[in-house]
Structure 1
Amino acid sequence: MQGCRLGVVVSALALAGTGVPDGAAAQSFTGIGSGARAFQQLDADKLPTPNVYRAATGEPGPRYWQQRADYVIDVAIDEDKKRLTGAETILYTNNSPHTLRYLWVQLDQNRFADGSLARMSETAATSGSRREAGSAQDRLSYGALARQMALADVDHGFKIEAVQDRNGKNLPYTVVDTMMRVDLPSPLAPGQTFELDIDWHQQIIDESVVGGRGGYKCFPVDARPENQDKDCIFFLAQWFPRMAAFTDYEGWHNKAFLGRGEFTLEFGDYVVSITAPADHIVTATGELTNPGEVLTPQQRQRLARAKESDRPVMIVTPEEAKENEQEGTSERQTWRFEAENVRDFAFASSRKFIWDAMGYRQDDDENPVVMAMSFYPNEAEPIWSQYSTEAVVHTMDVYNRFSFNYPYPYAISVNAWERGGMEYPMITFNGYRPNAEDAPNGEVTYTRGIKYGLIGVIIHEIGHIYFPMTVNSDERQWTWMDEGLNTFLEYVAEIEWEENYPAFRGKTNILDYITSYMTSANQVPIMTQSDSILQFGPNAYSKPAAGLTILRETVLGRELFDPAFREYARRWKFKRPTPADFFRTMEEVSGVDLDWFFRGWWYTTDHVDLAVTGMRQYTISSQDPDQEASYQRREASQREPEPLIQRRNREEGRETRLERRGEALEDFYTENDQFVPTNKQRNDYQRFLDELSDADRAIFERAQERQPYVTFVDFENVGGLVMPIPLTLTYEGGDVETMMIPAEIWRRDAERVTKMFLTETPIISVEIDVDHEIADADPTNNAFPQKPVTSRLELYLSQRSSTNQMADALVELEGDDKGETAGEQGPDVPLSAGAGDAPPNDAEAEPTAEGPSESEGDKAEEGGQREEADE
């Protein structure tokens, strides 16, 4: 980069010497109006109008309301038949200003029924696979085939036996896929209650084959076929008919459950009696109210000790769990649980459970001690006893700071499946345990992915007890409101677990991880309805989490972000927020306009790619022709170096005609080049000084005294998403300065801008996003001058592959019978086949039946929300 002189004209700075080429200047006008669109307020076209239910400030309005549903349920597990049988009483309270003539009830297990909307609308790409619709090839995995056969073998879904009022009178009802409308005998006015009784049964899902958020997982007792499903873990979710939500912004939420968009539910109190085999340990949402009937005196003593302990205490030891597996019983017993102000109820039951617990103390007069507990089989050891309950406690430590004190008396982690997790009030179902094959010399080992997957998924699922189990967002409509916010806090908690935590597929920085998704073609905006999201994990989990990380660390700073986020959680604790409530609260409390940020990150598929496209540096011209002549001469020689032909002529000793003829050809121009000042220029300079006002003369003289460097840097928004510019300036001599140029620099032109810097020392380089804090997708255009891309190159040996059919035919056939008959072995292939003797298909390879491995969602091996096999 060459320096230039900057001239002063009256009181304005003007380019002198090497200005911006006309073509480049014209290009800067192509973005006129783009800034206005990027910074348009969300209220203009995206957010609903505030009203008496939801205020413009983002908080509940003066007439905010929500419904309530209280439950009394008796349920029994038939372990042999893998069946649930239940009877429930629902007390429904109409807190709305509307009169209701019918109620809607959710029957979520009906999604597995033959002919359901979910099953009938599966595509080849989504049937047993997590690939996106439209990406399917003509192939079928073993897992997908097993799932289809299992669904065909069992009649799944709720079997409704009775729907009655409190007097035992049958009520008319209509089942519509995963919903049931119950017609009321008389209108339910505002403030009134109605009691509804439902009897039902259902077959429990084999989760390891069919998928789903609940079901059973069996472990073989021995090698005999009849003992392959004797010892099971039952983890039951969406297991009973639940009241659908009725809200101010949508009325009845009766959209069918298709498997991905999760749940929208009402708060209430639960009294649940669970009858299970007498050798089972049962854990559930809520407090166990009959411990004297189902726990031994020793177990109750251990629980009391665990409440005072700061380390996990074994309630059921590994040895006791193994002994329990071997005994078996035909007896049954009932466990009773009560839970207050929860939106759902889940439970787990197994004879295989090890159980550990410890007390977590928080500064809360109403709920000072939370019992953190874990339930897991011996197959989960040694990793679960070391990390599960510790991760539960760590989650509450972090989330309490960002929201509110943990609101319930229990926080439970249950090992239910191989990987992934699901959340319910007070209880979570979590994956990750060592593989049985990873036991060289009988010593169980586990991978790095299993360790951090376990820690991460427990943090994530326990975090869900805050969002959405307490801050009760609408999962069916907006997945990101619980998954995105929760993944953001999970990331905070993981970094506080240990430095360099491999949070996202081995990467520590979420902003490095998210760029590949944000530059991919197969995208939809975050605000897409849950069932239509493409690339579900990155879209609903990681992208919102990355955006909130940028908002906290770069746009707002922690001092503004943290109080705003806490206020959102406080305002909507035990209430139902919408996206507008979140966006408005963050702006209201932080005092910063964030519409540009939410519009770009949430409502578009643009990505971040800011580039430094040019840099020019000047010093202030004195405009004195006698002083400027040397500058002008030097600049000209730098812009246009001596022609090669002229230099080589001189090197060869070839004289010019002027040199040969001398005075005969000399005149004024021979001794004076175009930069020699003239008297006219001197007079013009003096008039320039005389015409300056006193103020301008003082500015001019100060500039001549200080001789600052004026640098113009051009930035381009290649990716389309406006963002602050984290800039690093390096000066001559090695000094470095960092600064944050706010996003508002793009408010007039969201495509290209130029920034001027006035410095005492020359700037030799500029660079964007040195700390990788804005998810910039292309670091190669972030510096001026451009930096080389460096890496390591591995040498490889070329390999040739070919098929030798003759040699393959001579290979000895493997197997016990060695193919004693031609029918078993296949037809003989002659070694010298003539024309027409070759097999009809001579292809070297054919596609495998297994197909590509299926992604486990956004965070896969490193933890994160479970995605179902059929999604």
Structure 2
Amino acid sequence: MNKSVISFCGLLLLLGLVPETLFSQITKSNYNYQEAFNPFFYTNNGNEYRSASGMPGPKYWQNAVDYKIAAKLNDQTHEISGTVTLEYTNNSPDELDFIWLQLDQNMFSQEGRGHQIVPLTKSRYGDAQSDFDGGYDIKSVKLSSGKDAEHLITDTRMQVFLPEPLKPNGGKTTISIDYSYIVPTYGADRTGVLKTQNGEIFAIAQWFPRVAVYDDILGWNVVPYTGPGEFYLEYGNYEVDITAPANHIVVLGGELLNPQEVYTPEQLKRLEQAKKSDKTVIIRSAEEVTQASSRPQGKKELTWKFRLEKAHDVAWASSPAFIIDGAKINLPSGKSSLALSAYPVESNGGNAWERSTEYTKASIEFYSKLLMEYPYPAAVNVAANLGGMEYPGIVFCSYKSKAAGLWGVTDHEFGHIWFPMIVGSNERFHAWMDEGFNTFINDLSTEAFNGGEYYRPMGDANRLAQALTRPDLEPIMSTPQSMQERNIGTLAYVKPGFGLTLLRNEILGPERFDRAFKAYIDRWAYKHPTPDDFFRTIENVAGENLNWFWRGWFKYNWRFDQAVRRVAYEGNDPANGVLITVDNLEKLPMPVVVDITTKSGDTHRVRLPVEIWERNSSWTFRYPSTEEVIAVQLDPDKVYPDHNPENNRWEAPAK
């Protein structure tokens, strides 16, 4: 044995550490602190459009579009026909030679890319009718001059060429499009037609040509719609006229402008009562659904007129089968909105949709206090043949849902009003920025609702880590189109939602996190944030460098595993204190929480910051115990995603 080894062993013996014990408990670590704490997380510096602090820059811009739509529903052929007139404003610094529009219904044509890539196995992103051949019939595209506009349709996109470049910094153009399409029975769980005993329920979305986003990140965002990636759209105002059979009731998330023309006098009276009531008011009862007198008489069709402002989409539903009820939503400013539910008799009773308005009201009131006030005059929950889908002011939820399931889907879909309806992130690329954020706030809302009626705590995060950090998972920061469909629930919803919970409760603390999270919403309301804008805002407002967390949890699929390697007394005497060595065995670092139990039965908690891993893969700390230690437990509350908790505990050998 050479002299240096003898000296090293002598030092260990002085500390009361036996070399044989040390060597026998060494476990190979995959951790690389230079990789984890590499300071160069951001690939771009701040600029005049997007500040390095996460705020919109002094020259931030985004384009805008206002829509006027007149459409008609043929409930016999399931055809929607209409005219959409859009006024587009180019606030960018660039001249635009053309405008791209989204034609989402083309996914349901036999030639649609989205249709062609639906697997033979069961998939959410298709249509139950395998032989269904849908898509838009674009009858005309005209400029404000009345002349036909040159245009080119490619799958779910249409390029409209302008006769003269659209000027930057406020240039405007108007385009009118006549179109029609057949509503798919089950349109990728976003839109569809449900048969009920009293007629069909039409849940109508992605139902008109919509302008694509032109931004400072990619220019035109022209990723085709194939189902998994949802939406990225410009904000504006909507005037919508829907003509439907007179026995139908039509609901939309905006302001109904002509209620006296489309409701009966008794329904109008009840509607006014609902606007003032904290309890659910029946506007059209289950018994009245089959009564002709519950609809205005003497006409075959009625036109429903709506207005929706400051929104980036609009959707609606129509049916002769609707029970309608409503209640007042109380907002923090003293203003109010109207919660409405529309559902068939099959969904009524047994702790099911008769509580939908109660759930809608509670959800929106909670988020309005926690985040930002709800912006729309109505919040409509529609029972449909969809699992759950959100649009501004209106959501579609499964008609089969009840109890905790109905609360959960209602709360989740209305949570989307804040992400991405108010905070307009790019869902085609960053599903986690709406689904994950929403999953996070849903947990807070469910805990608060009705004394926790449906709340079930997350429980053991160690066990959850087995699913969240499986080696075969793609990173969170993958597009939904490039995730295995079976992984989307984990990667877009659960894992980012848990990540925010971890950041709030364990890394930053609620006070710092809540202030930063709300700042992100305030900064980016009705704007288009990127992941960097979110990351930078949290870091700047909370005052914390979190590149190790963003990198490991969001950018990569890194695992986490801390282990107790050694427990030994200083000078081999329990009265001198205990030395505890903890290893970081996987690529993701985290703070350390340790419970130390002494012979007398007392338990003492020690917290160590994540910075101990900035230049170490193993860390020894001293705890000033004065008696024997009988147990050391890492992550005692099981709040960290440690996928291998077996090495988290040390117990003194029995004497």
Does TM, scored on the shorter chain, surpass 0.5? yes
Q: Tell me how far 1:770 sits from its aligned partner.
A: 2.0
The change in CA–CA distance for 1:245 and 1:80 in structure 2 (over 3 A counts) is: same
Cα distance in structure 1, aligned partners of 2:512 and 2:453: 26
Equivalent residue, structure 2, for 1:539? 491
Matched letter for residue 116 of structure 1: G
Equivalent residue, structure 2, for 1:180? 158
CA radius of gyration, larger in: 1
**Local SS of the residue matching 1:729:** strand
CA offsets per residue over residues 194-218 of structure 1, 9 Å max, x none? 00000000011111xx643002111
Cα distance in structure 2, aligned partners of 1:240 and 1:718: 53
CA offsets per residue over residues 45-80 of structure 1, 9 Å max, x none? 444321110000001000000010100000000000
Matched letter for residue 48 of structure 1: N
**Local SS of the residue matching 2:328:** strand
CA offsets per residue over residues 6-46 of structure 1, 9 Å max, x none? xxx9xx997427424279469979769811211123xx244
> Pick from 303, 306, 315: which aligns with 1:346?
315
The answer to whether the 8 A contact 1:245-1:266 is kept is yes
Equivalent residue, structure 2, for 1:214? 191
Matched letter for residue 538 of structure 2: M
The change in CA–CA distance for 1:484 and 1:185 in structure 2 (over 3 A counts) is: same
**Local SS of the residue matching 2:437:** helix
**Local SS of the residue matching 2:97:** strand
**Local SS of the residue matching 1:467:** helix
The answer to whether the 8 A contact 2:264-2:294 is kept is no
Give yes or no for the alignment of 1:407 onto 2:359: no
Cα distance in structure 2, aligned partners of 1:512 and 1:69: 47
Give yes or no for the alignment of 1:34 onto 2:2: no
Give yes or no for the alignment of 1:204 onto 2:198: no
Equivalent residue, structure 2, for 1:380? 347
> Pick from 607, 622, 625: which aligns with 1:740?
607
In the TM superposition, 1:791-802 aligns within 5 A as none
Equivalent residue, structure 2, for 1:518? 468
Equivalent residue, structure 2, for 1:301? 269
The answer to whether the 8 A contact 2:149-2:160 is kept is yes
Q: TM-score, structure 2 length as denominator?
A: 0.92
CA offsets per residue over residues 697-724 of structure 1, 9 Å max, x none? xxxxxxxxxx843212222333432111
Cα distance in structure 1, aligned partners of 2:509 and 2:653: 29
The answer to whether the 8 A contact 1:488-1:549 is kept is yes
Give yes or no for the alignment of 1:129 onto 2:126: no
Q: Tell me how far 1:432 sits from its aligned partner.
A: 4.8
RMSD: 2.7
The answer to whether the 8 A contact 1:510-1:542 is kept is no
CA offsets per residue over residues 416-467 of structure 1, 9 Å max, x none? 12x6210000100011526xxxxxxxxxxxxxxx421110110000010111
- Between the aligned residues of both structures, percent identity stands at 37
Equivalent residue, structure 2, for 1:272? 240
**Local SS of the residue matching 1:333:** strand
CA offsets per residue over residues 392-426 of structure 1, 9 Å max, x none? 12222332233211122211211112x62100001
Give yes or no for the alignment of 1:92 onto 2:88: yes
**Local SS of the residue matching 1:524:** coil
In the TM superposition, 1:709-728 aligns within 5 A as 709-728=576-595
Equivalent residue, structure 2, for 1:593? 545
Cα distance in structure 2, aligned partners of 1:513 and 1:105: 45
The change in CA–CA distance for 1:786 and 1:377 in structure 2 (over 3 A counts) is: farther
Cα distance in structure 1, aligned partners of 2:15 and 2:583: 24
Give yes or no for the alignment of 1:155 onto 2:133: yes
Q: Tell me how far 1:512 sits from its aligned partner.
A: 5.7
**Local SS of the residue matching 1:56:** coil
**Local SS of the residue matching 2:589:** coil
* Structure (1/2) with the larger strand percentage: 2
Equivalent residue, structure 2, for 1:698? none
The change in CA–CA distance for 1:163 and 1:563 in structure 2 (over 3 A counts) is: same
The change in CA–CA distance for 1:102 and 1:467 in structure 2 (over 3 A counts) is: same
Cα distance in structure 1, aligned partners of 2:211 and 2:318: 24
Cα distance in structure 2, aligned partners of 1:499 and 1:768: 32
Equivalent residue, structure 1, for 2:644? 778
**Local SS of the residue matching 2:111:** coil
Equivalent residue, structure 1, for 2:206? 238
Cα distance in structure 1, aligned partners of 2:18 and 2:405: 54
Matched letter for residue 529 of structure 1: T
In the TM superposition, 1:550-699 aligns within 5 A as 550-619=502-571
**Local SS of the residue matching 1:308:** coil
CA offsets per residue over residues 613-634 of structure 1, 9 Å max, x none? 321123478xxxxxxxxxxxxx
Equivalent residue, structure 1, for 2:71? 75
Cα distance in structure 2, aligned partners of 1:263 and 1:787: 59
The number of aligned residues is 641
Q: 268-277 or 512-521, which moves further after superposition?
A: 512-521
CA offsets per residue over residues 327-384 of structure 1, 9 Å max, x none? 999811100000111000000001111111111212226xx10111111111111134
> Pick from 766, 786, 794: which aligns with 2:632?
766
Cα distance in structure 2, aligned partners of 1:770 and 1:234: 51
Give yes or no for the alignment of 1:115 onto 2:111: yes
The answer to whether the 8 A contact 1:166-1:197 is kept is yes
Cα distance in structure 1, aligned partners of 2:450 and 2:585: 35
CA offsets per residue over residues 504-533 of structure 1, 9 Å max, x none? xx7643836632322434301000112001
Equivalent residue, structure 1, for 2:432? 480
Give yes or no for the alignment of 1:165 onto 2:143: yes
| Structure 1: gaps spanning 5 or more residues | 1-8, 132-143, 222-230, 435-449, 622-706, 789-871
In the TM superposition, 1:58-69 aligns within 5 A as 58-69=54-65
